[in-house]
Amino acid sequence: MNPIVGTGITIAVLVLIVGLIIRSMIKDKKAGKSIHCGGDCKNCGGHCH
């Protein structure tokens, strides 16, 4: 396999993984969850960002 093809596949997989993580974080934020507040913004006194 050409090294350029292998690098391209690796980069594509990493971009996909990062995209899924970001999508999950946005979804959690819209649902009122935050990693800063232990996953539940209702219990942090409104200090979630």
- What does pLDDT average to over the chain? 80
Query: How many residues in the chain?
Result: 49
Distances (CA, A) of 6 to 10, 16, 23, 34, 48: 6, 15, 26, 36, 41
How far, in Å, CA of 46 to CA of 25, rounded?
A: 18
**pLDDT at position 6, please?**
93
**pLDDT at position 25, please?**
86
Give percent of the chain with pLDDT exceeding 70: 63
Dump pLDDT digits (tens) for 7-25: 999 999 999 999 999 999 8
